[in-house]
Homo-oligomer: A and B are copies of this chain.
Amino acid sequence: MHRPEVTATLLLSCQDRKGLVAGVADFICRNGGNIVHADQHTDSEEGVFVQRVEWDMAEFGVPRHELRTAFQPIADSFGMTWSLHFSDDVARFAILVSKEAHCLYDLLARQRMGGLKAEIPIVISNHPDLEQVADSFGIQFCCLPMDPQAKADQEHRVLEKLEEHRIDLVILARYMQVLSAEFVDQYAGRMINIHHSFLPAFAGARPYRQAYQRGVKIIGATAHYVTAELDQGPIIAQDVIRVSHRDSEANLMHKGRDLEMVVLARAVDLHLDHRTVVYGNKTAVFD
């Protein structure tokens, strides 16, 4: 059996109604598409329907550039929030960091090995420390220091950089700054943060310190879409690791770093594969 060269993926959410699944499937079917993956979910408390459908574009009756227009009437008839993606799209993402290098190293290495379908035109930091890391991968490093008196200015310069490089996805890879609601809004659903705890436990500052003091037997990491409320955005991925009374706070940080980089990479992967749909304050993950 052949593997499709290019597939289209439709992500949608709307109020649940009869005929939704059939309506979408019929559109694809009557245009000659073969569905290679379809997954859906009905949140019966909220009455919300979310779906991911992926089909082979070879022999599909509607050409790629007309697809959005062709699907619009169906979307309208059901009141869908939707987006369409192609498997050969290459996302452009920016990585924002402060002083911790592990997530940055990990993401750059993955991209270099071909494990991420993305270009990374720029790394932005409020500190100069990680310039060498970006350099060793031949990626532009832009240091925009934070002046607490002029936080809005710094954010503005970051935004300019993101726009200049036409960034699709912003990754906060241990960027230790709280972003304003204005900034966050511009990248709603397109900005992922890694928080170094198992949220909602230990939100805010120094989660490993908090975990150490509470004496937990498991620590975690959480990747989530960023919203205006700190550490409250829709969760994409979480993972945990066992610890014991033997682990000092420094050990927790050491063990936690592995989690952080793996969980962040997994979330970025899921986003790049168009496997996430945000609805309300939750993320449906069609993995």
Contacts and interface: CB of A to CB of B under 8 A. Distances in A.
Contact of A215 (B20, B42, B257, B283): B283
Interface stretch (A175-183, A184-192, A194-202): A194-202
A1 B282 contact: no
Given A21-B25, A40-B38, A287-B246, A218 B215 contact: no
Contacts of A214: 199-200, 235, 281
Contacts of A236: 217
A256 to B, nearest CB: 12
A47 B238 contact: no
Interface in A221-242: 234-240, 242
B245 A1 contact: no
B254 A240 contact: no
A277 B198 CA distance: 26
From DSSP, what is the main secondary structure of chain A's interface residues? mixed
Interface residues of A, number: 80
Interface of A: 1-3, 16-23, 25-26, 28-30, 32-47, 50, 101-102, 105-106, 109, 112-113, 115, 136-137, 198-202, 214-218, 220, 234-240, 242, 244-246, 248-249, 254, 257-258, 262, 265-266, 280-285, 287
8 contacts: A1-B46, A18-B33, A19-B29, A21-B28, A25-B25, A199-B216, A215-B235, A258-B266
